[in-house]
């Protein structure tokens, strides 16, 4: 109570209109670098007041700009490497939107800077000196540093580290949140918690501190009203921190569009669940179309300065001039190299940047601004939300938006962003931007540039470099256009107006300043990840040195900074997956990434993730990596090194030792995850690599893998499941090494007991691994049946996550393959047959794979003997229901894969008793489908068509001897009196074999069968020739 009373008085002194600058300076100096002071600021409820300073206009105060800059710096420091409760407090205070509102106020305010003396309007628009004042640039830099710190921390919380990239591995911050909850239960001074996370015993910890400073508490309760309050529908935080009533109306209108949100998203069952939801919302808001220009537009405050340092001897000279030298240092710290930061991380030092090596302080700020924007891009670009993103998209389209489409739209918005969209672009006030169509020579400029880019040969590059070097006069000569001085000025401004964000990022990669260069490279990496559009744009533009961007990236293999090399070749690893390169280029990328495995662990982990990305689904690169670059030995050494993670220190250890141990543990945890992921990618396709990994790694790999399945960190468990899945593709390893290691029980424990908060990924990976462990004749199949694992898999078949449903169905299918009748009975006892029938018919987008597996389950159930056929018919609701389902799939033809499964269901049903076969023969649509199968371009379906007829015309034993206990349900089908063809509807005098021949002939089966004798596929032609004798 005392603390809250004191904090109330302290918070009053932080009110925007009355706050004292000196007090803010003291607060800033105290929180930078001190986790204890940061936690005290949050616990004292100062976060809402600090956020209000950003969103409140302070033009009437002479020190307003400095107050806002200090508040932004404090918020950025609080967000830097923040524990979950601090992030929750910042999210509840709506810190991200307040920073964007502050940028909006600055963008709409008139500039206090004078036009640069002696410059024309066009020169001002393209100058490396900003038309904004130095104070404005400082303010922008402060806002962007705070925004970057927030987005980085929130992105880590939502999706802790991309599987193929950098930053903490999956679940690192999640485990922090779990430990935070344990601390709440055991007392905020938990020595164990402080020891594990490297915190001071004086640090205030616990979710309760996130409530401080807010009039409404308990917002994390699982109620719909709580969700409404944190969205701004009530008197909660959003209203308290809004800048104006117009902001409230805007937010209220936006929230009306969000009413389609599901109840599950609105209700929070824990503070961490609320944090994840709010984090996604905050990131989505930053990338919303009305907010994107506010921070992305700062890329155009001025041209990036280029280092005047002499290029190193290794620099490759293009035909358009030499590439600027790199290594004059960082705009953040003089002389610092990118290797001083976490690899690929947009987290920098907390302190304000000192003046770097550019001569003008404003140039330092421009470099820092570019670095901050790049950090926001690389951290938040791939975090999707079904909140702001989807609502905005749905407002202009009736299309159903998935996360993939939302992210694609977000990337496109960034790639298409140009200077004339920026409220900070100097040319906006310098002169009016002419329309692109108004200048005919501008179209010729871009057309010539595109033409030069189409070829990647030397001549094409020479044309591009020469074109860039000669500039407008070269273009005039080529087109024969005489431009007067006015046109020349307008053209210069036009080219700069359509200078895009991608152009600025490419300029940053060659600016010569390590930190800015590295940050821009990571932004390009995330833009190009699984994105063909970005890759295509990278092949249709030039860097300032006249190189194709991919050539520039390859040239960075000799850069003295390991972090810059890492960022460049991670970007190339992504581009290679969507755009084919020559084997020589692929090997070059592989060689650099393998070389980076020898650097310190923070570099090693990221390089291992990138290596996994590069070799995934490429058996040639996998073999090359193992045979020529000794990747197995290198990764084994890294995995052995990571065994020392999570070494507990005594609670009374010095704070410095605890913090150092926590940092080392984080790095080793990421290293273990990365090594396991790389091993999985290397071994997924080649059996000889799998055998080498199991038999020839020192120390032995399997004990480490098995222990990793029960590791405390989610990312390590996910990676271990992937490696088990890859190794289990080898039958010999499956039957010996994996059985002896006892992996089945560990995977089953994950499926049974995995916490809901961990999401579906870990259970999906464990289920995918089980799919391989229960293949035909595997000893683990019986273990799964006897241990009750079947019921757990059946429960997962109804999971809301499509990937988990797919893997669970796949595992059930493999269990049923070649299973005996008793096993099938055990499996089907827990079946939701109605659910299975729905999945068999489900043809919506994204569910085709699920439909295929559901149909495959029916196929495997109906195989082997008539008793199994009876079991299948009974479960599916009778023969009429089953046959109607088959007919629906055949005539809707959702996919060849689904069609193949129903074809083989008919193959299996045709192996039954005479009664089973007569029911099938009584369905004209199924006989017509059999003829249709013979005409299909897919060989497996043609084989199935021949096989159905072969089984139907095969003499068999009577039903009484083959299946004396046949169920009455198999006789539910009745003959159709209007059957097509020349045969009568009922042929009671014929045996089933003769009846099948007559009915099939009536559909022209024998005529089509004769054409298959010359089928190019031997399996089809041989079967057709053998069957044809029955129709002669």
- How far, in Å, CA of 983 to CA of 352, rounded? 90
Write down the pLDDT at residue 957. 54
- The neighbouring-strand residues paired with 318 are 321
Per-residue pLDDT tens over the stretch 42-84: 888 899 989 999 888 887 777 888 889 999 999 999 998 888 8
Residue 321 φ/ψ, nearest 5 degrees: 120, 165
Q: Are 667 and 710 in contact (CB under 8 A)?
A: no
Low-confidence ranges of the chain (pLDDT < 70): 1-13, 110-131, 160-205, 216-269, 307-360, 386-401, 427-495, 601, 644-664, 754-759, 843-846, 956-989
CA distances from 376 to 47, 96, 489, 520, 838 (A): 22, 12, 34, 10, 43
What is residue 894's DSSP assignment?
Answer: -
Burial 940-969 (b: 16+ CB within 10 A, else e): bbbbbbbbbbbbbbeebeebeebbeebeeb
- How far, in Å, CA of 194 to CA of 753, rounded? 27
Architecture of the domain spanning 862-1032: Alpha Horseshoe (1.25)
Per-residue pLDDT tens over the stretch 746-769: 898 888 876 655 668 889 999 999
Tokens of residue 369, six digits: 């601004």
Burial 875-892 (b: 16+ CB within 10 A, else e): bbbbbbbbbbbbbebbee
Q: Are 295 and 380 in contact (CB under 8 A)?
A: no
Write down the pLDDT at residue 608. 94
Residue 117 φ/ψ, nearest 5 degrees: -65, 135
Write down the pLDDT at residue 779. 75
Closest CA to 704 of 727, 686, 681: 727
Q: Are 57 and 102 in contact (CB under 8 A)?
A: no
Write down the pLDDT at residue 846. 56
Write down the pLDDT at residue 579. 83
Write down the pLDDT at residue 110. 66
Write down how long the chain is.
Answer: 1032
Q: Is 114 exposed, middle or buried (0-12, 13-18, 19+ CB in 10 A)?
A: exposed
- How far, in Å, CA of 461 to CA of 467, rounded? 10
Write down the pLDDT at residue 532. 84
Closest CA to 294 of 433, 173, 140: 140
Q: Is 351 exposed, middle or buried (0-12, 13-18, 19+ CB in 10 A)?
A: middle
Write down the pLDDT at residue 781. 80
In three-state secondary structure terms, 500 is strand
Distance of CA 137 to the CA centre of its chain: 33
- How far, in Å, CA of 328 to CA of 355, rounded? 12
CA distances from 126 to 121, 386, 448, 483 (A): 9, 39, 22, 19
Q: Are 1004 and 931 in contact (CB under 8 A)?
A: yes
Closest CA to 346 of 569, 506, 93, 526: 526
pTM given for the model = 0.77
Query: Which H helix or E strand runs over 553?
Result: helix 549-555
Query: Which H helix or E strand runs over 443?
Result: helix 440-454
How would DSSP label each residue in 229-293? HHHTSSSSHHHHT-SSHHHHHHHHHHHHGGGGS-HHHH--SSHHHHHHHHHHHHHHHHTSTTTHH
Q: Are strands 317-318 and 321-322 parallel, antiparallel or unpaired?
A: antiparallel
Q: What residue ranges do the domains of the chain occupy?
A: 2-112+120-286, 436-497, 862-1032
- How far, in Å, CA of 733 to CA of 452, rounded? 53
- How far, in Å, CA of 998 to CA of 992, rounded? 10
Write down the pLDDT at residue 117. 43
Write down the pLDDT at residue 467. 31
């Amino acid at each position: 109570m005392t603390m809250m009373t004191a904090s109330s008085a302290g918070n009053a002194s932080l009110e925007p209109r009355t706050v004292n600058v000196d007090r803010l300076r003291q607060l800033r100096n105290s929180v930078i670098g001190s986790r204890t002071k940061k936690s005290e600021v949050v616990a004292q409820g100062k976060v809402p007041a600090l956020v209000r300073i950003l969103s409140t206009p302070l033009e009437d105060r002479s020190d307003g700009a400095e107050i806002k800059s200090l508040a932004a710096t404090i918020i950025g420091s609080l967000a830097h490497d923040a524990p979950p409760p601090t992030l929750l407090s910042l999210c509840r205070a709506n810190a991200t939107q307040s920073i964007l509102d502050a940028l909006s106020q600055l963008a709409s305010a008139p500039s206090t800077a004078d036009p640069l003396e002696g410059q024309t309007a066009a020169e001002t628009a393209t100058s490396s000196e900003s038309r904004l004042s130095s104070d404005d640039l400082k303010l922008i830099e402060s806002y962007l540093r705070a925004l970057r710190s927030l987005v980085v921390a929130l992105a880590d919380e939502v999706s802790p580290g991309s599987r193929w990239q950098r930053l903490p591995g999956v679940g690192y911050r999640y485990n922090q949140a779990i430990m935070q909850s344990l601390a709440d239960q055991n007392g905020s001074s938990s020595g164990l918690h402080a020891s594990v996370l490297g915190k001071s015993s004086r640090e205030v910890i616990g979710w309760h501190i996130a409530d401080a400073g807010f009039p409404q508490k308990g917002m994390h309760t699982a109620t719909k009203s709580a969700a409404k309050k944190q969205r701004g529908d009530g008197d909660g935080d959003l209203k308290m921190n809004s800048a104006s009533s117009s902001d409230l109306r805007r937010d209220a209108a936006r929230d009306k569009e969000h009413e389609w949100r599901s109840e599950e998203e609105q209700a929070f069952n824990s503070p961490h669940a609320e944090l994840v939801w709010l984090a996604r919302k905050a990131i989505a808001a930053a990338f919303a179309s009305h907010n994107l220009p506010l921070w992305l537009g700062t890329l155009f405050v001025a041209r990036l300065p280029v280092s005047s340092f002499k290029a190193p001897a290794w620099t490759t000279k293009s035909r358009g001039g030499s590439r600027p030298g790199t290594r004059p240092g960082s705009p953040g710290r003089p002389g610092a190299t990118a290797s001083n930061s976490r690899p690929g991380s947009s987290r920098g030092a907390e302190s304000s940047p000192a003046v770097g090596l550019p001569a003008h302080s404003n140039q330092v700020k421009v470099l820092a601004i570019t670095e901050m924007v790049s950090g926001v891009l690389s951290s938040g670009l791939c975090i999707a939300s079904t909140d702001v993103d989807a609502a905005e998209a749905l407002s202009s389209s009736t299309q159903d938006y998935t996360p993939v489409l939302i992210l694609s739209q977000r990337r496109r918005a960034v790639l298409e962003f140009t200077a004339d969209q920026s409220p900070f672009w100097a040319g906006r006030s310098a002169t009016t931007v002419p329309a692109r169509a108004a200048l005919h020579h501008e179209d010729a400029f871009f057309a010539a540039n595109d033409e030069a880019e189409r070829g990647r040969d030397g001549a094409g590059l020479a044309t591009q470099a020469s074109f860039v070097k000669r500039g407008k006069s070269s273009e005039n000569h080529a087109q024969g256009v005489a431009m007067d001085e006015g046109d020349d000025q307008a053209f210069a401004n036009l080219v700069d107006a359509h200078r895009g964000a991608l152009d600025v990022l490419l300029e940053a990669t060659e600016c010569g300043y390590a930190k800015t260069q590295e940050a821009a490279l990571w932004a390009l990496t995330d833009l190009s990840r699984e994105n063909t559009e970005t890759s295509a744009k990278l092949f249709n533009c030039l860097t300032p040195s006249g190189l194709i961007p991919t050539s520039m990236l390859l040239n960075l293999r000799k850069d003295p900074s390991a972090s810059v090399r890492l960022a460049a070749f991670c970007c190339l690893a992504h581009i290679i997956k969507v755009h084919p390169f020559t084997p020589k280029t692929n090997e070059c990328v592989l060689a650099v990434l393998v070389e980076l495995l020898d650097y310190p662990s923070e570099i090693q982990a990221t390089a291992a993730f990138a290596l996994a990305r590069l070799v995934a689904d490429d058996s040639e690169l996998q073999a090359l990596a193992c045979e020529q670059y000794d990747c197995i030995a290198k990764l084994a050494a890294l995995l052995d090194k990571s065994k020392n993670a999570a070494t507990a220190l005594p609670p009374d250890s010095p704070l410095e030792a605890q913090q150092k141990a926590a940092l080392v543990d984080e790095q080793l945890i990421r290293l273990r995850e990365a090594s396991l992921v790389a091993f999985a990618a290397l071994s997924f396709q080649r059996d000889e690599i799998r055998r080498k990994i199991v038999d020839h790694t020192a120390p032995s790999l399997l004990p480490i893998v098995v222990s990793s399945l029960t590791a405390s960190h989610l990312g390590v468990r996910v990676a271990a499941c992937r490696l088990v899945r890859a190794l289990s593709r080898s039958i010999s390893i499956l039957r010996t090494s994996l059985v002896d290691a006892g992996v089945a029980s560990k995977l089953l424990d994950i499926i049974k007991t995995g916490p809901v908060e961990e999401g579906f990924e870990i259970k999906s990976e464990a289920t995918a691994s089980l799919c391989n462990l229960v293949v035909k004749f595997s000893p683990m199949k019986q273990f799964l049946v006897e241990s009750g694992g079947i019921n757990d898999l059946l429960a997962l078949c109804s999971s809301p996550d499509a990937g988990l449903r797919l893997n669970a169905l796949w595992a059930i299918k493999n269990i049923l393959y070649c299973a005996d009748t008793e096993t099938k009975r055990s499996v089907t006892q827990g079946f939701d047959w109605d659910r299975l029938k729905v999945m068999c018919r489900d043809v919506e987008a994204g569910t085709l794979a699920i439909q295929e597996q559901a149909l495959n389950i029916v196929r495997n159930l109906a195989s082997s003997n008539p008793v199994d056929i009876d079991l299948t018919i009974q479960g599916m609701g009778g023969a009429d229901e089953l046959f109607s389902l088959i007919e629906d799939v055949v005539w809707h033809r959702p996919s060849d894969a689904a069609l193949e499964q129903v074809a083989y269901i008919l193959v299996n049903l045709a192996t039954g008793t005479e009664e089973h076969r007569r029911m099938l023969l009584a369905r004209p649509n199924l006989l017509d489908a059999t003829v249709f199968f013979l005409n299909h371009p897919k060989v497996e379906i043609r084989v199935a068509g021949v096989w159905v007829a072969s089984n139907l015309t095969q003499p068999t034993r009577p039903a009484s001897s083959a299946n004396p206990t046949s169920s009455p349900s198999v006789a539910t089908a009745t003959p159709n009196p209007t059957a097509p063809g020349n045969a009568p509807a009922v042929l009671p005098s014929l045996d089933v074999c003769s009846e099948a021949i007559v009915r099939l002939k009536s559909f022209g089966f024998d005529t089509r069968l004769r054409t298959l004798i010359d089928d190019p596929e031997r399996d089809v032609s041989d079967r057709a020739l053998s069957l044809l004798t029955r129709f002669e």
